[in-house]
Structure 1
């Protein structure tokens, strides 16, 4: 097998594990996300444990990455270097949060939820892809 086959296989396996984890944790159900964000109503704190687990896994992954000379299937790590908090970051974060709160999905769970077959999920993913394409074509060149 060549290097691209290994990359594809690693990406596919990572996506399968990620999707399985999302399903296992209940993140494919937008009502669970909206219940977590409804702090003054019928609050569901279970998402805090999912997010906490994700932070722990990410922290451990970064610690392992720091000790590695390069990734297994690339010549270097592609880590963001910009540490500046600017208006595009704040506006993008706010839009992400609004979309997450209104729709009950963020990109990963939305794509994984396509497997469930809920029509609203298809609409959300289409709108998300249109937004990503618009950003890429219109605003990404402006920094």
Structure 2
């Protein structure tokens, strides 16, 4: 198997494991997500455990990465260069959080939910893609 085929196969496996984890954890259920975000109402703390588990797994991954000279299927790590917390980052984070709270979806669970064929999921994914396209055309090109 060549390097490109190995990368595609690994990406498919990782995506399937990620989607299974989203489904198993309840992150694909907008009602459960909204319940987690409703801290002054009928709060559902179960997703806090999902997030804690994700942080734990990511911490182990970062520690392993720091001991590697390069990734297994690439020549170098592609890490973000920007480290500054600025207004754009805070605004984008707030916009993401508002959208997550209103829709009960963020991009990963929304894409994993597409095969369910629910109109609300399709509408979310279409508007998300439209928002990304508008951002790329207006913000990224203006730099």
TM band (smaller chain):
over 0.9
Shift of 1:141: 3.5
How many residue pairs match? The answer is 143
Query: TM-score scaled by structure 1?
Result: 0.97
Note the aligned Cα RMSD (angstroms): 0.9
The separation in 1 between residues aligned to 2:104 and 2:56, in whole angstroms, is 23
Shift of 1:133: 1.1
The separation in 1 between residues aligned to 2:92 and 2:142, in whole angstroms, is 14
Q: Where does structure 1 lack aligned partners over 5 or more consecutive residues?
A: none
- Kindly report structure 1 stretches of 4+ aligned residues shifted beyond 2 Å: none
SS of the counterpart of 1:99? helix
The separation in 2 between residues aligned to 1:101 and 1:142, in whole angstroms, is 30
The separation in 2 between residues aligned to 1:2 and 1:136, in whole angstroms, is 33
Deviations 1:74-95 (A, max 9, x none): 1000111211011110110010
The separation in 1 between residues aligned to 2:71 and 2:142, in whole angstroms, is 30
Shift of 1:39: 0.8
The separation in 1 between residues aligned to 2:35 and 2:62, in whole angstroms, is 30
Aligned equivalent of 1:52: 52
